[in-house]
Amino acid sequence: MIIGSLILIFVHSVLTIPFLNAWWLAAAVVIILGIGFSLVPAAMWPSVPKIIPEKQLGQLMPLYSGFKISDCG
């Protein structure tokens, strides 16, 4: 999750530099952005059962799944 977060920070920083305006650079950065966006939820999903108490986990997982499927987070 830390690597994905650092990738997101790096990509957004590169996208704000005005003189880096080549189309191939923008395409490469957007591909890297997609990798970063996939790393963060991939690391977050397995950590949910470790954080939430077991008696509340049956209520949380359907809500969390619905939240992720609806593309809100």
pLDDT tens-digit readout, 14-70 = 989 988 888 898 899 999 999 988 888 787 777 777 887 877 777 777 777 777 777
Place of tokens 């005005």: 18
| One-letter identity of residue 15 | L
pLDDT at 73 over 60: no
Is pLDDT at 9 greater than 80 in this prediction?
yes
The confidence band for 10, taking pLDDT boundaries of 50, 70 and 90, is very high
pLDDT of residue 64: 73
Nearest to 38 by CA among 8, 15, 66: 8
